[in-house]
Amino acid sequence: MAISVRRATAEDLDQLRAQQARPELGLVDKHFEAQQAGSLIFAVAFNDDKPVGTALLDLESQEYNPELRNMYVYPSARRLGAGRALSEFIEDEAKSAGFTAVYLAVDPNNEKAVPLYVSLEYHPTGEHIFVEDPEIPQVEDGIEHSKHYAVYKKSLTVR
Establish if 110 lies at the interface with ligand COA (CB under 6 A): yes
Establish if 150 lies at the interface with ligand COA (CB under 6 A): no
Question: How far is Cα 134 from Cα 150, in angstroms, rounded to an integer?
Answer: 14
Work out which of 34, 80, 131, 156 binds ligand COA, going by CB under 6 A.
80
Q: Residue 95 phi/psi, 5° resolution?
A: -65, -45
Establish if 78 lies at the interface with ligand COA (CB under 6 A): yes
Work out which of 43, 73, 90, 102 binds ligand COA, going by CB under 6 A.
73
Establish if 66 lies at the interface with ligand COA (CB under 6 A): no
Work out which of 49, 79, 133, 141 binds ligand COA, going by CB under 6 A.
79
CB-CB contact of 125 with 149 (8 Å): no
Q: Which stretch binds ligand COA (CB under 6 A): 22-30, 76-84, 94-102, 123-131?
A: 76-84
CB of 81 to ligand COA, least distance (A): 5
Work out the angle at residue 45's Cα, subtended by the Cα atoms of residues 2 and 150, and round it to the nearest 5 degrees: 125
First to last CA, the chain: 28
Work out the angle at residue 31's Cα, subtended by the Cα atoms of residues 123 and 124, and round it to the nearest 5 degrees: 10
Q: HEC states along 50-91? A: EEEEEEEEECCCCCCCCEEEEEEECHHHCCCCHHHHHHHHHH
CB of 125 to ligand COA, least distance (A): 15
Establish if 116 lies at the interface with ligand COA (CB under 6 A): yes
The residues that touch ligand COA, with contacts defined as CB under 6 A, are 71-73, 78-84, 106, 110-113, 115-116, 119, 138
